[in-house]
Amino acid sequence: MSEDFNENKTIQAQSSETISGGETGVAPDIDYVRPAELSDQDLYHGHTFITKWVFCQDAKVIGVQYFLLATFTGIIGLILSWLMRLQLGFPGAAGFMTAEHYYQFVTMHGMIMVVYFLTALFLGGFGNYLIPLMTGARDMVFPYVNMVSFWMFFVAVGVLLASFFVPGGPTGSGWTLYPPQAILEGTPGSGMGIILMCVSLILFVAGFTMGGLNYLITILQARTRGMTLMRMPLTVWGIFTATVLAMLAFPALLVSALMMTLDKVLATSFFMPTILKAGEVLEYGGGTPILFQHLFWFFGHPEVYIVALPAFGIVSDLISVHSRKNIFGYRMMVWAIVVIGALSFFVWAHHMYVSGMHPWFGFFFATTTLIIAVPTAMKVYNWILTLWRGNIRMNTVMLWCLGFIVTFVNGGITGIFLGNVTVDVPLSDTYFVVAHFHMVMGIAPLMVIMGAVYHWFPLVAGRMLSEKLGKWHFWITFLGAYSIYFPMHYLGFIGVPRRYFEMYDSPYITSAVGMNEFISTAAFIVGAAQFILIYNIVVSLKMGKPAGKNPWQANSLEWLTPSVPPEHGNWGDKLPVVYRWPYDFSVPGAKEDFIPQTTPPSEVVETEVEKT
């Protein structure tokens, strides 16, 4: 590697940010790092069971709490998807399932998976656990607010799940909750169901805002000595940018949920046009349903990247560690994350091509949408170039990363199809769309979550997960996910519409019957395979191989805590000092193939490290 590319791009081991260059004529100390700007963080240490494990202010515990609750909610979403697939593959097999139930399950599955599972897991779970550890902070900057954030999320999930038990059941208007149908009689759950959904979303946004402020300020203002922005792991960059998006996109969701609640409860007509129902004019009139679509998708499209950017960041770190090579084009990766985040605010109307818009409007949004493919493709190339001629460890974590790249490219390419107005219009509301977004923002981020669980479980629990079970889990999930979603593209092309309870005897759909049976069977198997992971976690917690310190030989700070798993306060008496980026793998001349971020330059003078 190095002989191909080493054109004076490496320097003697030095810390660029921190050298105090020749002020007095004395040889500068190459290990010099500016003193701390802030005094040590004041922390509340819990003493009782309640303050240590329930109402806990330690970001690590809060992260695990988020993780567990999001996973619990995700399993409910998984069970709902099973019920849907049962109906689609084998109509009538579940005797209790009516069309109303089906719509309710579709809606709740979508909302749970996007907001309460993926968003909460990436930002609440991984964000809380990893941000303070990776940036070298003792904890989040506002631990109390952080705790409240989790319990707001808890209440939000409670309100959401309560809607299963109210008269009329949960809302069945599709996860996009489009008015007018969402709140009109005839739509399942148009009474208490939709109200609880809106209330739950408002609570979620409020809770998330508290957490999000913590993530941002911790990253901006509480890094340890030597931790410059361009030495942060890409995981932190991904979570940071996603949190910025969330802080700016969730307001639109909050406002639309509030206005929808008022339309329902007070019979205002924000989103409700004049409606004739069975020959009678309803009390509504003069509102504009399109406004809701704009508000919803102004949230909804950045939401895709709120899920995707942390996944991008995490997978970059996993690939780098497990192929023992520095991430290819680190700065390019950072800027790609930031640019994707910024562009995501200018593409929302590509979800609305069929709701009727001026052609130039569609042209604008198609253009911005396709521009996003540029930084995204750069990231994919960089992942592949990181792998290229790396010392790849073919372990479970790496398998999930490779699975991610494949599914992400797959889902990304169908995204280019759908970004074009002329291609999108005929494919709109078909299974092609379902296949596209499940590939790109369902399966792909999920692969990263799985990889991240196998990667960081040793840090959280101090024990390794079983590799054997992990590989079974991966291969069943990967092949199964392709068996589910690949045929769906074809279903879309032959015109099978999404959100239909049953296809009945439509002549052109009959050819899809066998395929639907196949997809459903695969879905049952893939869903069941996820319990391998749960079994693996439960068993490994007690019986797994002890992990010891830094089992993956990673460089980033979270593996360098004095005790594993890290304790409250993370770093014992002294905060770590950072001298380099976290990607110094396989450095020519180094004793080992990794140089942790805390290794001072004086210890590696003979090596050719990158200047970071």
Partner 1 sequence: MSSDPKIEGYKFKPGYSGMAADTASDQTMFKGVHWGKAMMWIFLLSDTFIFSCFLISYMKGRASTPVEWPNPSEVFALNAFGVPVPLLLIAIMTFVLITSSGTMALAVKYGYERNRKMCGWLIIATALGGLTFVGMQVFEWSKLIHEGVRPWENPFGAAQFGSFFFMITGFHGTHVSIGVIFLFIYAYKTFAGHYDEGKRGWFTTMKGDYVEIEILGLYWHFVDLVWVFIFAFFYLW
Task: Provide the binding-site residues for partner 1, judged by CB under 8 A.
Answer: 17-18, 20, 33-39, 41-42, 44, 141-142, 144-145, 209, 212-213, 216-217, 220-231, 247-248, 250-252, 254-256, 258-259, 262, 266-270, 283, 285-288, 291, 294-295, 298, 578
Q: How far is the CB of 205 from partner 1 (least distance, A)?
A: 9
Dihedral, CA atoms, 125, 578, 319, 433, nearest 10 degrees?
40
CA-based nearest residue to 32, from 601, 603, 605? 601
- Residue closer to partner 1 by CB (options 62, 295) is 295
Q: At what angle do helices 234-265 and 128-135 cross, to 10 degrees?
A: 150
Cα separation, 423 vs 477, in Å, equals: 30
- Residue closer to partner 1 by CB (options 294, 471) is 294
Q: How far is the CB of 230 from partner 1 (least distance, A)?
A: 6
Q: How far is the CB of 319 from partner 1 (least distance, A)?
A: 24
Question: What are φ and ψ of residue 194, in 5° steps?
Answer: -70, -35
Check if the beta carbon of residue 258 is closer than 8 Å to that of residue 198: yes
Q: How far is the CB of 255 from partner 1 (least distance, A)?
A: 4
Residues forming beta bridges with residue 610, ordered by sequence position: 10
What residue type is assigned to position 429 of the chain? D
277 three-class SS = strand
Question: Which tokens in the block code for residue 81?
Answer: 């998807």
Cα separation, 326 vs 554, in Å, equals: 11
Cα separation, 604 vs 15, in Å, equals: 11
CA 105 to chain centre: 22
First CA to last CA distance, the chain: 19
The 3-class secondary structure across 518-549, one letter per residue, is HHHHHHHHHHHHHHHHHHHHHHHHHHCCECCC
Question: Which tokens in the block code for residue 182?
Answer: 């969402």
The DSSP output letter for 463 is B
- Residue closer to partner 1 by CB (options 114, 213) is 213
Check if the beta carbon of residue 415 is closer than 8 Å to that of residue 348: no
Q: How far is the CB of 374 from partner 1 (least distance, A)?
A: 23
Q: How far is the CB of 64 from partner 1 (least distance, A)?
A: 22
Check if the beta carbon of residue 282 is closer than 8 Å to that of residue 350: no
Question: Which tokens in the block code for residue 422?
Answer: 């002329």
Q: How far is the CB of 525 from partner 1 (least distance, A)?
A: 42
- Residue closer to partner 1 by CB (options 148, 494) is 148
Q: How far is the CB of 121 from partner 1 (least distance, A)?
A: 22
- Residue closer to partner 1 by CB (options 249, 446) is 249
Cα separation, 329 vs 335, in Å, equals: 10
- Residue closer to partner 1 by CB (options 25, 286) is 286
CA-based nearest residue to 551, from 352, 322, 222, 246? 322
- Residue closer to partner 1 by CB (options 75, 247) is 247
Q: How far is the CB of 288 from partner 1 (least distance, A)?
A: 5
- Residue closer to partner 1 by CB (options 209, 550) is 209
Check if the beta carbon of residue 568 is closer than 8 Å to that of residue 147: no
Question: Which tokens in the block code for residue 216?
Answer: 């941002």
- Residue closer to partner 1 by CB (options 80, 245) is 245
- Residue closer to partner 1 by CB (options 213, 315) is 213
Question: Which tokens in the block code for residue 95?
Answer: 């005797």
- Residue closer to partner 1 by CB (options 205, 609) is 205
- Residue closer to partner 1 by CB (options 21, 186) is 21
Q: How far is the CB of 262 from partner 1 (least distance, A)?
A: 6
The 10 Å Cβ neighbour count of residue 290 is 15
Q: How far is the CB of 254 from partner 1 (least distance, A)?
A: 6
- Residue closer to partner 1 by CB (options 537, 577) is 577
Q: How far is the CB of 70 from partner 1 (least distance, A)?
A: 22
Q: How far is the CB of 612 from partner 1 (least distance, A)?
A: 11
CA 489 to chain centre: 24
The CA–CA distances, whole Å, from 492 to 414, 417, 432, 435, 495 equal 12, 13, 4, 8, 5
The CA–CA distances, whole Å, from 195 to 120, 189, 207, 259 equal 21, 9, 18, 11
Q: How far is the CB of 495 from partner 1 (least distance, A)?
A: 33
Check if the beta carbon of residue 490 is closer than 8 Å to that of residue 515: yes
Check if the beta carbon of residue 449 is closer than 8 Å to that of residue 71: no
594 three-class SS = strand
What residue type is assigned to position 4 of the chain? D
- Residue closer to partner 1 by CB (options 7, 280) is 280
Scan for tokens 């960059």, then name that residue. 237
The 10 Å Cβ neighbour count of residue 4 is 7
- Residue closer to partner 1 by CB (options 251, 497) is 251
Q: How far is the CB of 582 from partner 1 (least distance, A)?
A: 14
